Amino acid sequence: MNFACNVASQINMNFFLKSDWLNIEIGQNSIKEYLLVLLVILLALLLRRFFATLLSKLLFRIIRKKENSSSIQSFVLLLSRPVGWIITLFVLYICFSSLDVPVEWNLSSSEKPGLLMLIHKVFLISIITSFTFFALRFIDFLAIELMAKEGNGTGFLADKQLLPFLKELVKILMVIIAFFFGLGFVFELNVANLVAGLGLGGLAFALAAKESLENLFASFTIFLDKPFVVGDLVTVNSITGTIEKVGFRSTRIRTLEKSVVSLPNKLLIDNALDNLMLRTHRRADSNLILEYKTSKENFGLFLEKLRNYIEQHPRCNEESMVRFVEFGDNGYVIRLLYFVDAQEFNEFCQIREEINLQILDIAKSCNCSFAFQTHTVLLEDKR
């Protein structure tokens, strides 16, 4: 039964392919040729992702001998789309090139002004755009690989702010090269004369974009002088936050309120910038006030114990100070100043909390009490 069905279907298919109506010509091309072209285009669109993934993996194996699953996945994710565009464009070119253009349409060749020339130039522009897109994605992949490879190093490429900057710079140069290549190859313009003619226009553009150029040069100053790197906590113009990205024009800072502030690079160079990550210690400065009813012996014992504790603390440096500075409105004022060798704010707060709790124990052991602010209100009886 199955054999009979297969034979019948094959006979029907042969009859369909050998039918006379398939040989009917429309515009110097038969219906069969139109159907074959349509079938190839549909198959290309349906299988584009499969072939794009396959070609991307093949290209990855050509570039790198050592395979890495994460690298392959990243490579395919970035390059499968531009590869798919290139495949589609070439399939369309081959399909439409196989069809004959009717003579009665009076269309010129692709070398003379007309519809065919327009279609030809659009195709070339699409090809250049696709290959440029492919190159940009490939640059992204190289940047990811270099960042992963040098992530634990201290080399030139391990700089987390320099590598993204170089990546963007190379991508911009790639787009400029593709643009001038398109002008010369597609529109047959003399690129050398065009660049020379842009001299005066470039001068006018430079004057108009003076601030942008200043910020661009300021970005180079940041990379060369390195007043900060990505991840540093800085304070500039009363703005405190973590550096997230240094761009061509501005620098992104994540503030302590978790908002993002973009500051021009020139502002970061021309103004005082405090890099809080470069400090070796954090300062703790506070005043302790003991009640006036505290005896002189207990007061002196409290100062001695507190001074010894701060000086012997393993996380405090030698520049600490515990001094009785003045007679306050509510009690004896003691100036407590010490530096903690902690850069992280949470760690600093933890050590300071430990010291404050110990101060309470010292005050209790010396029979000392801290004063609190009081106000005396006198009411006059005018009766």
Instruction: List the structure tokens of 290.
Output: 């003991």
216: nearest Cα among 255, 254, 172, 178? 172
Residue 324 lies in a domain: yes
Statement to judge: residues 41 and 172 lie in one domain: yes
137: nearest Cα among 92, 86, 184? 86
Predicted local distance difference test score (pLDDT) of residue 379:
67
How many distinct structural domains can be found in the chain? 3
CATH label of the domain that carries residue 243: 2.30.30.60
Question: Can you say whether residue 226 is alpha, beta or left, with left for phi > 0 and alpha for psi between -120 and 50 degrees?
Answer: left
The pLDDT tens digits for 34-52 are 888 889 889 888 988 888 8
Statement to judge: residues 255 and 314 lie in one domain: no
In this model, does residue 155 exceed pLDDT 50? no
pLDDT level of residue 325 (50, 70, 90 thresholds): very high
What is the DSSP track for 308-368?
HHHHH-TTB-TT-EEEEEEE-SSSEEEEEEEEE---SHHHHHHHHHHHHHHHHHHHHHTT-
Greatest distance between any 2 Cα atoms in the chain = 128
Predicted local distance difference test score (pLDDT) of residue 159:
55
The model's pTM:
0.56
Statement to judge: residues 46 and 153 lie in one domain: yes
pLDDT level of residue 3 (50, 70, 90 thresholds): very low
Among 224, 243, 278, which residue terminates a domain? 278
pLDDT level of residue 5 (50, 70, 90 thresholds): very low
Statement to judge: residues 242 and 104 lie in one domain: no
In this model, does residue 110 exceed pLDDT 50? yes
Statement to judge: residues 274 and 292 lie in one domain: no
Residue 383 lies in a domain: no
Statement to judge: residues 225 and 86 lie in one domain: no
pLDDT level of residue 132 (50, 70, 90 thresholds): very high
What is the DSSP track for 63-94?
H-SS--HHHHHHHHHHHHHHHHHHHHHHHHHH
Cα torsion angle, 81, 84, 90, 95, sign:
negative
Residue 35 lies in a domain: yes
Statement to judge: residues 28 and 138 lie in one domain: yes
Residue 197 lies in a domain: no
Alpha-carbon distance values, 120 to 73, 127, 170 (Å):
35, 11, 29
pLDDT level of residue 94 (50, 70, 90 thresholds): confident
Predicted local distance difference test score (pLDDT) of residue 65:
63
- The answer to whether 306 and 357 are in contact (CB under 8 A) is no
Average pLDDT rounded to a whole number, residues 94-120? 69
Statement to judge: residues 174 and 96 lie in one domain: yes
CATH label of the domain that carries residue 304: 3.30.70.100
Statement to judge: residues 38 and 154 lie in one domain: yes
Residue 345 lies in a domain: yes
DSSP 214: H
pLDDT level of residue 7 (50, 70, 90 thresholds): very low
Predicted local distance difference test score (pLDDT) of residue 333:
94
Q: What does the chain come to in residues?
A: 383
Predicted local distance difference test score (pLDDT) of residue 14:
53
Residue 136 lies in a domain: yes
Domain that holds residue 342: 282-365
Predicted local distance difference test score (pLDDT) of residue 361:
94
Residue 343 lies in a domain: yes
Residue 141 lies in a domain: yes
Statement to judge: residues 240 and 350 lie in one domain: no
